[in-house]
Amino acid sequence: MKLVILDRDGVINEELTDPVRSVAEFHPIPGSLEAIARLTQAGFRVYLASNQPGLGRGEVNYEGFAEQNGHLQKSLAELGSRIDGSFFAPDHPDRPGPMRKPNPGMLLDLAKRLGISLDYVPAVGDSIWDIDAARAAGARPVLVRTGNGVRTEKEHALKGVAIYDDLAAFASALIAAQQALPAVN
């Protein structure tokens, strides 16, 4: 199975100072939806794994969060694409559970439900929490310089982490690398 795991805020949509509360505040990063479409058209399954602390703090309700994800799916459907599944941790940052990144629980749960190993599966994020969760789960950490990515790159030693300007650049590189592999019969 060809699989990619994406963080949401700061990778697909603009990272805001406060949580994204409604569809009106959900602004895709230029090229991100098209990047997801190219990944799915190249045969990748795309899953989200995202901390959503606004839910835990009561700043966002579940209905509003579901509307945001529905809007994302509708926008992707217009491009002939989709998100195959969405995992999120609603934990309050002061009371993090095992699913909240940087803990690997969310990624491990995804792997368990799909019955796969995360070896070589890229997990794309914009924060050190995304990178640490990917490493702890055995996935391949990838940083994008959107959202908090530039700051994360400056503040942390990211040895062994692939870094791209944005999701579109990552998707192009991944698809090109896959196409360069010889066919196995």
Enumerate the active-site residues. Answer: 7, 9
Task: Please identify which residue in the block is written with the tokens 């640490």.
Answer: 132
For the chain, the first-to-last Cα distance in angstroms comes to 16
Amino acid at the residue 117: S
Residues 8 and 78: their CA atoms lie apart, in Å, by 19
What count of other Cβ atoms lies within 10 Å of the Cβ of residue 165? 13
Report the 10 Å Cβ neighbour count for 128: 20
Does the annotation list 132 as a binding residue?
A: no
Alpha carbon distance 81, 128 (integer Å)? 28
Please provide the size of the chain in residues: 185
CA separation, residue 175 to residues 146, 154, 164 (Å): 20, 27, 14
d(CA 59, CA 57): 6
130 marked as part of a ligand binding site? no
84 is in an annotated binding site: no
| 118 neighbors 137 (Cβ within 8 angstroms) | yes
Which residues line the annotated binding site for Mg(2+)? Answer: 7, 9, 126
Which residues line the annotated binding site? Answer: 7, 9, 126
